[in-house]
Structure 1
Amino acid sequence: MWQYFMPTKVYFGEKCIERGIEALRSLGKRALILTGRRSSKENGSLDDLTRALSQIGIEWELFDDVEENPTFALVRNIVSEYRDGSFDFVIGLGGGSPMDTAKAIAVLLKNPTLNVEDLYDASRYNEALPICAIPTTAGTGSEVTQYSVLTDDAGFKKGFSHPALTFPKIAFLDARYTLNLSEALTRSTGLDALCHAVEGFLSRRATVLSDLYAKESIKLIAENLPKALKDPTDLRARENMLLASCLAGMVISQTSTTIAHALGYPLTTFKGIRHGEATAAFLDVIVEQAMIEVPEKVDFVRSVLGDVAKFLEFVGLNVRVPINDEELMLWTSRAKNAPHVQWTRGNFTEELIRYLYERVKLH
């Protein structure tokens, strides 16, 4: 048996905020916008959003200090500052970090007796403010998933979700906002989307429908990530990458991710490697291991990407970090016991996990 649930209404295309803004009337009359410090101002998305909101009479307040890899502390600060704001809905504008933060804030503003730790027990809450998501990277796909990843007080990344409440109600995807992404961000966010598509395709939770989206996403990324890296102003390539990211988000909303994500988290949190690159560093072995169980799917991935390690090298992936023995032991243990493992094809033994970390270790 399988099921499909993806309740987000997606508007895709140039000027989609302006053309689809009426849809936000259904969410209320007062919005809290969460975004980062610079990118949404530089790419024009914040101006487009606030202008459109004002035109239809929706009041808004702006928090523009969302950090990359948002922390429990950040969430607590936002809740403290805006608890009494009487907001009807929350807008996450930017990359994965503002959208993930918006999901946390949407739950906590609606449930004032809860704290950030309670987000990880979905039985503790049965309502949340509606969420609008506007991605400006391509990307996390967070605009169409129920997942939010925060960094806890000990420095470890932890994902939470609710089966219904943390899906955005509405998403606006306009590729013009991705045109000024740096080469490094284009690469890391594009690789994040690729990991979502491939991991979801090879997941033990994959369905007929998620496979359709995953295959199309993999094909789009194989063709368009190199183009976007070569010519950042190629709007068609940017549109195709944004579509691929959204499709891959729809995939993992059904399948979740695999051990590649668990392996990559400490490289991001403790070594500063961007999430997409940290995860992609292990993608070739995810594919190799899946050969044991789903050879026909691995054949498809290789027919599109070629040799996975060589494709990753071709688009510029190169992850090398110092790792000491204590870190190696702790990270190996955490990855081996991560919930992602149950959906991962193959056999990820402690020895294999240790080898994978040794492989990215700077010698």
Structure 2
Amino acid sequence: MWQYFMPTKILFSQKVIEKNKEIFKKFGKKTLIITGKTSSRINGSLRDVEDALRSLSIEYYIYDKIDENPTFEHIRQAVKECRIHDFDFVIGVGGGSPLDSAKAIAVLLKNKSLSVEDLYDATKYDSSLPIIAIPTTSGTGSEVTQYSVLTDDTGFKRGFAHDVIFPIIALIDPLYTVSMSVSLTRSTGLDALCHAVEGFLSKRSTPISDLYAVEAMKMIKENLPRVLQNQNDLEARTAMSFASCLAGMVISQTSTTLAHVLGYPLSTFKGIRHGDATAAFLDAVVQGAQSEVPQKVNVVKEIFGDIRDFITASGLQIKLRIDDEELEGWVKRALTAKHMQWTRGSFDESSIKKLYERMRSN
């Protein structure tokens, strides 16, 4: 048995906000815009949103204090500042951090008695302010998922899931991705790659998610090298935005697996961008699946050859100082992560430790 549920309406084109601005009127007269400090201003997305809202006489408030890897405390501060207003809907503009933050904030503004910790108990709420997602990177796929990843008070990344945080609308414009740096282009592209491959090999994969995953992998194989070589290649940028959306749709059905689990500490404690940190372990996911679904692993190999070689060719190199105490803590946390139940293959304390040790510089 398998099922498919993805309630987000996707609008994909250049100048997508200008062409579809009337859609904002369906959700009310006052909105909260969640974004970061600079990127949405550089790529023009925030300006386009403001122009559309002003033309429709929709009142808006901008909260632009979202950092990379948003923490519980960031969300608490945002909610505290924004609760003095009464919003009808929330617009998230930016990469995965603003979009994930928008989801959390939308729930907490709708359910005023909840704490950030309560977001992780899906039985405590069944509603959210409507969310409109406008991605400005091509990697996270958060615009089409029911997931939000935050960093808890102990410094570890934790994801929560609920159907009410699926964005109602995703407005995707590849033009917003052209201003990304080479390093951000690589990291977000590798994140999309991980979503496609992990979802394809996940124990939760479905016939529909597999179709999306294979198409996303093919598009990434062809177009990620192109955008890394020429950041202004709009055709390749458009393909990467499409691939990222498809890969997001994949994990909305399948969840993620081992690579994400192992990558989280590298992001929160070592400052490695999420996509880079995750991709560093993707070859282990492929190897682990070999004994259970060799036919699927063969598909991955037919597209990429050696997946580790493809990732290395993108320019990814990670060498870190990791002390023994850190290493032991990361390994123990990985073994208890819920993602492991969807990961094919056998991974124990020793094998996970070896994966981390590959990137130790000391």
* Same fold at TM > 0.5: yes
C-alpha displacement of 1:349: 1.3
Distance 2:79 2:37 in 1: 18
Q: 1:129 is matched with which residue?
A: 129
Q: 1:334 is matched with which residue?
A: 333
Deviation readout 1:310-352 (Å, 9 max, x if unpaired): 1111111111111111011110011111000000011111111
Distance 2:72 2:279 in 1: 26
Match status 1:312 vs 2:325: no
Q: 2:355 is matched with which residue?
A: 356
Q: Does the residue aligned with 2:197 lie in a helix, a strand or coil?
A: helix
Deviation readout 1:101-149 (Å, 9 max, x if unpaired): 0000000000111110100001001111000000000110000000000
Deviation readout 1:148-206 (Å, 9 max, x if unpaired): 000011111010111x2010000110011100100000000000000000000000000
C-alpha displacement of 1:64: 1.1
Flag structure 1 segments of 5+ consecutive residues without an equivalent.
none
Q: 1:213 is matched with which residue?
A: 212
Q: 1:63 is matched with which residue?
A: 63
Distance 1:349 1:112 in 2: 42
Distance 1:172 1:292 in 2: 40
Match status 1:283 vs 2:282: yes
C-alpha displacement of 1:84: 2.4
Segment drifting more, 329-338 vs 20-29: 20-29
Q: After superposition, where does 1:1-363 map in structure 2 within 5 Å?
A: 1-162=1-162, 164-363=163-362
Identity of aligned residues (%): 61
C-alpha displacement of 1:285: 1.1
Query: What amino acid maps onto 2:115 in structure 1?
Result: N
C-alpha displacement of 1:359: 0.6
Query: What amino acid maps onto 1:206 in structure 2?
Result: S
TM value normalised by structure 2: 0.99
TM value normalised by structure 1: 0.99
Q: Does the residue aligned with 1:193 lie in a helix, a strand or coil?
A: helix
Query: What amino acid maps onto 1:154 in structure 2?
Result: T
Flag structure 2 segments of 5+ consecutive residues without an equivalent.
none
Distance 1:116 1:297 in 2: 39
C-alpha displacement of 1:55: 1.1
Query: What amino acid maps onto 1:72 in structure 2?
Result: F
C-alpha displacement of 1:28: 1.4
Query: What amino acid maps onto 2:165 in structure 1?
Result: T
Query: What amino acid maps onto 2:308 in structure 1?
Result: A
Distance 2:341 2:99 in 1: 26
Distance 1:305 1:174 in 2: 27
Distance 1:283 1:306 in 2: 13
Distance 2:357 2:315 in 1: 20
Distance 1:27 1:197 in 2: 32
C-alpha displacement of 1:286: 0.6
Number of corresponding residues: 362
Q: Does the residue aligned with 1:312 lie in a helix, a strand or coil?
A: helix
Q: Does the residue aligned with 1:32 lie in a helix, a strand or coil?
A: strand
Q: Does the residue aligned with 1:165 lie in a helix, a strand or coil?
A: helix
Query: What amino acid maps onto 1:93 in structure 2?
Result: V
Distance 2:319 2:124 in 1: 41
